[in-house]
Chains A and B, each alone.
Chain A
Amino acid sequence: MNLLRHYRFASFMIVLIAIAAFAVAELDFTTLFVGVVVAMLSWYVTEGPRGRTLPNWASNLLVLALVSYSGFSFVTDGEIGGAMAALGQFLLWLLVIKLYARRTANEDRQRFTLATMLILVGCLESVQFVFGIMVFAYAAAAVWTAMLWRISLGAEGARADRAKQGGFAPPIELAYGRRATPQFRGIATASVLSIFAASVLVFFLFPRFSEVRLGDTGGGSGAVTGFSDQIDLRGGDRIVESRRELFTLQCVDMSGAAFRSPRPLLLRGAVLDTYDAEAQRWTARRSVSGARTLRTPTDGRLTDLARGNASDVRTRFLAKIQMRAMASDVIFSIYAPVAIATSESRTIAIEPSTLLLRDVSVDRIGRSWSYDLLVQPQPNAETLEDLAGGPRGFGDNAREAARSAARTRFPVEAVRPIAERIFADVARSSNIPPEPAADADQSARWLRNREVARGIASWMKANFTYTTDLSAFGRIPGEDPIVSFLERYRSGHCEYFASGLCAVLRSLGIESRIVTGFMAMEYDEQSESYVVREANAHAWVEVRTSELGWTAVDPTPEESLFEIQERNRSFADRFRWIYGNLEFLWNSSVVTYDASAQATIADRLQTGWRATISERIESVLARMRALATSLSLGSAGGAWFAAIGIGVSTAGLAALIIVVRRRQLRRTLHLEHVPAREQHRLQREAAFYVEALRALESAGARKPAHLSPRAFAEALSARNGEVGAAFAAIADDFYRVRYGGISPSRDEARSHVSRVLALRALLRHNSASIRVD
C-alpha cells in the first residue's frame, strides 16, 4: 500500500528537519553539516538495498556512551545558561543513534518524541527567522507524518493482534477503498491548514507580556541585530560579521537631490554613560521623566521635534530611512534630528539630554515602515535649546549637574596613569590648546576638551589595531579589559576603541559618553542610498562641546572598517534584502508581538471593521468614478460598470459550472488515468452515455458505482424490459467508444443522441416501474 510506504520517508524527513532546525537555532554549522549527513546516511543504511540496522545491544551501548559523555561534559565544562544547548545536543545525537536502530512502532514513537523535544529546546534557544521557518516546516510535516503514523500503527496493531494468536486467526488483509492516497493528501492538507489557521488565532489571543523586544526573546545570538543599548566587555571573543541588511538611508538635500556624504554617517541609537567596573559593562541611564512625546500625522508631513521654531536652517538635509529587517522601537538618527515624518501615524518620544528618538506607540503591531528625519548636523545653541524643550543653564539642575560630574569620572583607577601618559604623548605631537585659566569661560574648556578628544582619537587610530577576532587576547584576572586594551594588546573592535577613549577622557576629567548605533558607509550608487547592515553596528564617543551640544569623536580606524566592508562584499548581497524583508516581517509581526499589539488588533477588530469596510467601498467607488470620468462615460458609467460586473460574475459562474461538470464527467467515465488529449476526446464522444445516466438518475434509477454499464442494463431490464433494452444499446455504444477506441462517425454520433432521446421518452412513461426507493 502506497500510503504506508510514504510513512517511512515522512518519519525520516521530520527527524532530519528537527536536526537541521536545532543546528540552525544554535548557529552551529558543524553540527548542521555532520548531523544532517550522518542522519541522511542512516536512510541509505537502513532502507537501502541491504537494509541493515544496529543491533539492540549496540544501540544501547551507544546511548549509554552518549549519556555518560553528555553528563560528564556538562558537569565539568557546562554552565547553567548552556543547559538547554547541552540538552539539545544530547537529544540530537540520541536521535541520530535512533535513526540507525531497528524500525518498530516503539522506536518510531521515541524518534517522534525526541524530534519534537529537540524542536522545543530549539524554541527556547532561538527565535530567529530561519529557525522559525523550520519550526513551521516541522509542524506541517509532523501533522502529515502523525496522520500517516496513525494509519501505520493501526495496520501494525491489527496484524499484531492476529499474529499474537499463534496461527489461530488468519492473517489480516488490509481493506481500503478507492483513491485512498489522494484522499489522504486532501484530508492531511486540510488538517495542516486548519491547524495553522487555528494556531494563528490562539497565537493572537494568548495573553502576552506588556512589551517584548528582540533581545528579550531568547538566548539565541541570532536574535541580536548588531545594535545593542549596552556594551559588555566580557562578551564573546569574536564578532560575527553579518551581512544582513537592516535598513537603507538616503540623504536628500533641501533641493530634493540625493547626495553622498564625504564621510561615513553615524546613526545614533543609544547613549551609554555609565560604566560598571565590576560587571565590565557600559549601560545607558534612561530618563523617562524628561522625555517629550509627539504624534506624527498620517499624511507623511514633517513634524518638528523642537518645541520652538528653530530658525537655524543652514546645512540641513533629509535622511530617509527605510526599515528592511529590523523590528525595533529605536529610531536611528543622525545628530541632530529636528523634524520627523513617518509612513504611518506613530507616537515618537525624544529624550532632551541625548536627543535620542524612540517609537513609543501603543498601537505597535509591527509592520514594515519608513521614516524621514530632518537633520541639522551642526545645530546652534538655539536649535539645541528648542530640541531640549527650553533653555537650561549648565549646573542649575542638581540632577543634571550630578550626571555631568559622573561623566567626568571613571571608576577604574588604573586607567588614570595610562590616560596621563597618553595625554602627554598626544600633547607632544599635536596642537592641543593649553589649559584655560580657572576663571575662563566654560566654552573655552569645552573647545579644548574637543581638541583633546580628537587628538587622543587620532593617536589611537595611529597606534592601535582594529580586529574583530579577540580570541588571541586572553582575559587577565583582576585587570579591567579597558586597561588590557590600552596597555597590553592595543587591539580590538569599535567597542574597545570607544571604551578606551571614553575611559581616558573621563580619567582626564573630560565629560564624555559612548554612543552605539550604526555607521552608514556602504553607498549604493544605483539607488543613491546607503545600505546599513548588521555588521555596520558601531560604537563611538561623544564629547560635550556646549551647554546642550555634543560632538562625535570616533577613535576607530575608518580604513579598517572599509577594508572589512570590502572584504565581505559578495554577490549574494544583491538578493539579501529579500531575506531581510521577510526577516523584518517575522521580527516585527511574530517575535515582538506583545500586549500592546494585541490590544491594537482587538481594538481594530472591535471598532474599526465597519469603518474599514466602508472605507474600502468608498475607495472602490471613488476609483470607479475616476475611471468613468477618465473614459468619459458620464452618467451611464454606473450602468456600464454594473453590466461589466454582471458579465464577469456570470462568466465566473459558467466557468465554475463547466469545471464541476467536467470533473463529474471524468469521474463517471473513469478517465482519471487517461492522457489529457484522450480525455478530451472521450468527454466529447461519450457524453451521450452520461446524459443517459442523468436521465435515469432523474427518473429515480441511479447507477450504483459497483455495477458495470451492462450489469446495470440487466438490472434495469429486470424492472422494465423496454428501458433496459434501450439502455443496453446505449451501453454497447459506450463500450465501443470508451474501451474500443473507436471514434464514432457523424451518423453514429447522431444515432447515439437519438437513442438517448428515445430513452428519455421511454422514461417519461415508465419512470414508476424503474424507480428505486
Chain B
Amino acid sequence: MLGNLPTPKRRTRLVSTGVVYILVIVAVGLAAAGRPNNLLVWVFSFLLAALLISGIVSGWMMMPVRAMRIEPRRGRVGEPLLVRYEIVNTSRFIPAYDIRVEERLLGPRTRAFRRANAPKPLPLEAAGSAWVMHVGPRERLHGEAVFRPTRRGPVRLNEFEVSTTFPFGLMRKVLRFTQSGEVLIHPEIRVLRADLLAKVASGGYGGHRLSSDAGGFDDFFGVREYRPGDSVRSIAWKRLAGTGTLATIERSRSVPPRMRVLIDLRTPTAQLRTADGEDARALEERAIVLAASFLALSDRLGFEYALSIAGFDVPPVTLRKGHFHREKLMSALAAIDLDAERSRTNGLSASDERSTVIVVHPDRVDLGVAPADAWHFTSRQLESLVDAHVAPSAAENARA
C-alpha cells in the first residue's frame, strides 16, 4: 500500500504555545530547584514528560500517514476552488487526530526569484485548509481545502503539507509531500445584462429562426404520408376526413440564436493605447473577462456560441452549446498566454455560419478585424455591461 503513495519529508516546528510552555517549564524548574518541595519537582517532571511524550506521540502518529492530492482540472477566478486530499493512515494500531492539510502556495523557484531567495507565489489564496479530525488505523479519508484563484491561467501545484499539533499543541509535526498537479484557472465571469444579447441578436442575422429541417415541435412545416410509428397526435385528421388517406403533419425545429465572440488580441500589450495610470495588461485581462462573460451569458440564454481569438493561432471552434462546450471555450480563454508572440492576420472574415459576431477589444475598436455587421465592445465597457441588479450570491449561482 505504501509503495503507491508518495514519501514525505518530515519537519518539526515549535509553535507559540510550545514556546510559552517551555518558558513555564523553565520557571517551574527553577522554582523546584530553589526549594525542597518534591511536589513541585514532580510537577516539573510531569511538564517535561508531557513535552517529551507529546513529541513521541505526534511522531508515531504521523509516521504512517500518507496523503495524495486530488486536484480538480479547472477552477475559476472569483469562485472557490475545492481541492481534495486523500489521507491514508497505514498504521495497524495508531490512529491519527487533528490532521491539517495545507498547500504550499509558492511556485517553483525561478532563476530570478532564486536570486532574491523568494519563490514566486501562486495565483491562489487559501480560503480554508483541509482538516480531518480522525483517521483510524488502516483508514483513508478525504479532506477538502478551499482556495480563491486570483488570476487566470494554469496553476502548477507542487507541494502540500500534512501536519498536526496533536496531542497538546506544543509543536507541529509536518509531513511535506511533493506531488505535481496542474489546475487551469478560467477567467472570471461577470453577470452581464440579460437584455444585452437579446438586443444584439433579436430579429437580426443571428436571431431566432426556424430551421430548414423538420423535426421540431413548433410551427407547421408540411404534411407527408403516414409512416407506421408516427404519433397519433401528429395525424392530419382533416385531411383524413377529406381524402381518406392517412397523413402526418410535420413541424419545424426552432434554432437558437447564434453568437460568435471574437477577442481581439492582435496588438501586443506594449502597443495598446492606454490612458494615464491604466495598465495595458489589465485591459487585456478585462477583455478576456468580458469575452468569457459574453460566452457565459450566451450559454445561460441557450444560444449556440463559439469563440475566436485574434492574434493567436487557435484552431476555429464551431458553434455549439452546452456545458462541455462552454468549458472548452473557457479553457481556451484561460490558456491564452499574453506574453506569447501575436499575429495580425487571423481576424474574422465574413462566413455563412449565420451568427451574430461580438468583438471584444482591449483598448479601442478596430472594425477591420470582423465583418461589418459585427458588434464591437472594449474592455473599458465591462462595468457598464454588468447587471447591477444581480445580487452577488445570485451572480455566483449564475456562474455555477
Q: Does A127 contact B (CB under 8 A)?
A: yes
Please give, as numbers and ranges, the residues of chain A lying within 8 Å of B156 by CB-CB distance: none
- Given A135-B43, A177-B141, A217-B36, the answer on whether A157 and B131 have CB atoms closer than 8 Å is yes
Q: Contact: B131 with A202, CB < 8 Å?
A: no
Q: Contact: B146 with A162, CB < 8 Å?
A: yes
Q: Contact: B128 with A199, CB < 8 Å?
A: no
Q: Contact: A200 with B36, CB < 8 Å?
A: no
What is the 8 Å Cβ interface bit string for chain A, positions 61-98, against chain B (1 contact, 0 not)? 00000000000000000000000000000000000000
Q: How close is A256's CB to chain B, nearest CB, in angstroms?
A: 41
Q: Contact: A146 with B138, CB < 8 Å?
A: no
In Å, the complex CA distance between A409 and B132 comes to: 81
Q: How close is B303's CB to chain A, nearest CB, in angstroms?
A: 29
Please give, as numbers and ranges, the residues of chain B lying within 8 Å of A161 by CB-CB distance: 127-129
Please give, as numbers and ranges, the residues of chain A lying within 8 Å of B56 by CB-CB distance: 194
Q: Contact: B39 with A590, CB < 8 Å?
A: yes
- Given A150-B166, A170-B146, A176-B133, the answer on whether A209 and B36 have CB atoms closer than 8 Å is yes
Q: Contact: A195 with B141, CB < 8 Å?
A: no
Q: Contact: A146 with B49, CB < 8 Å?
A: no
Q: Contact: A154 with B128, CB < 8 Å?
A: no
Secondary structure class of chain B's binding surface, majority of residues: mixed
Q: How close is B178's CB to chain A, nearest CB, in angstroms?
A: 24
Contact of B100 among A154, A207, A212 (CB under 8 A): A154
Q: Does B256 contact A (CB under 8 A)?
A: no
Q: Does B308 contact A (CB under 8 A)?
A: no
In Å, the complex CA distance between A394 and B337 comes to: 115
Q: Contact: A198 with B49, CB < 8 Å?
A: yes
Q: How close is B177's CB to chain A, nearest CB, in angstroms?
A: 18
Q: How close is A433's CB to chain B, nearest CB, in angstroms?
A: 51
In Å, the complex CA distance between A189 and B127 comes to: 36
What is the 8 Å Cβ interface bit string for chain A, positions 163-207, against chain B (1 contact, 0 not)? 001011110111111111001101110010011111111110011
Please give, as numbers and ranges, the residues of chain B lying within 8 Å of A173 by CB-CB distance: 144
Please give, as numbers and ranges, the residues of chain A lying within 8 Å of B97 by CB-CB distance: 147, 150-151, 184, 187
Q: Contact: A150 with B133, CB < 8 Å?
A: no
Binds A, one of B25-33, B190-198, B265-273, B349-357: B25-33
What is the 8 Å Cβ interface bit string for chain B, positions 86-102, against chain A (1 contact, 0 not)? 00010000110110100
Q: Does A591 contact B (CB under 8 A)?
A: yes
What is the 8 Å Cβ interface bit string for chain A, positions 206-233, against chain B (1 contact, 0 not)? 1111001000111000000000000000
Q: Contact: A176 with B141, CB < 8 Å?
A: yes
Closest residue of B by beta carbon distance from A192: B53
In Å, the complex CA distance between A197 and B45 comes to: 10
Please give, as numbers and ranges, the residues of chain A lying within 8 Å of B165 by CB-CB distance: 150, 154
Give residues 36-67 of B contacting A (CB, 8 Å). Answer: 36-46, 48-50, 52-53, 56-57, 61
Q: Does A532 contact B (CB under 8 A)?
A: no
Contact of A123 among B36, B43, B135 (CB under 8 A): B43
Q: Contact: A206 with B44, CB < 8 Å?
A: yes
Closest residue of B by beta carbon distance from A162: B128
Please give, as numbers and ranges, the residues of chain B lying within 8 Å of A179 by CB-CB distance: 136
Please give, as numbers and ranges, the residues of chain B lying within 8 Å of A191 by CB-CB distance: 53, 57, 167
Secondary structure class of chain A's binding surface, majority of residues: helix
Q: Contact: A195 with B46, CB < 8 Å?
A: yes
User: Which residue among A126, A127, A195, A591 has the maximum number of chain B CB atoms within 10 Å of its CB?
Assistant: A195
Q: Contact: A172 with B42, CB < 8 Å?
A: no
Contact of A705 among B41, B52, B138 (CB under 8 A): B138
Q: Contact: A199 with B42, CB < 8 Å?
A: yes
Q: Contact: B38 with A176, CB < 8 Å?
A: no
Q: Contact: A165 with B134, CB < 8 Å?
A: no
In Å, the complex CA distance between A177 and B129 comes to: 19
Give residues 481-536 of A contacting B (CB, 8 Å). Answer: none
Contact of B136 among A174, A183, A199 (CB under 8 A): A183
Q: Contact: B45 with A202, CB < 8 Å?
A: yes
In Å, the complex CA distance between A169 and B127 comes to: 7
Q: Does B80 contact A (CB under 8 A)?
A: yes
In Å, the complex CA distance between A1 and B133 comes to: 10
In Å, the complex CA distance between A172 and B100 comes to: 13
In Å, the complex CA distance between A179 and B139 comes to: 11
Q: Does A139 contact B (CB under 8 A)?
A: yes
Please give, as numbers and ranges, the residues of chain A lying within 8 Å of B31 by CB-CB distance: 124
Please give, as numbers and ranges, the residues of chain B lying within 8 Å of A127 by CB-CB distance: 37-39
In Å, the complex CA distance between A218 and B41 comes to: 12
Closest residue of B by beta carbon distance from A119: B43
In Å, the complex CA distance between A738 and B82 comes to: 41
Contact of A150 among B32, B137, B168 (CB under 8 A): B168
Q: Contact: B48 with A199, CB < 8 Å?
A: yes
Please give, as numbers and ranges, the residues of chain B lying within 8 Å of A208 by CB-CB distance: 36, 41
Give residues 723-758 of A contacting B (CB, 8 Å). Answer: none
Q: Does B393 contact A (CB under 8 A)?
A: yes
Q: How close is A478's CB to chain B, nearest CB, in angstroms?
A: 35
Q: Does B216 contact A (CB under 8 A)?
A: no
Q: How close is A149's CB to chain B, nearest CB, in angstroms?
A: 8
In Å, the complex CA distance between A705 and B89 comes to: 14
Q: Contact: A153 with B136, CB < 8 Å?
A: no
Could you show 22 A-B contacts with beta carbons less than 8 Å apart?
Answer: A1-B133, A123-B37, A123-B43, A127-B38, A150-B98, A154-B100, A154-B165, A154-B166, A158-B129, A161-B127, A162-B127, A172-B131, A175-B132, A176-B135, A184-B95, A184-B97, A186-B95, A187-B94, A187-B95, A203-B41, A203-B45, A206-B45
* Further contacts, 7 of them, CB under 8 A, given A179-B136, A186-B95: A150-B169, A177-B136, A183-B136, A187-B97, A194-B56, A201-B49, A202-B45
Sorted nearest first, the 5 A-B pairs with minimum C-beta distance are A198-B49, A202-B45, A158-B131, A177-B136, A169-B146
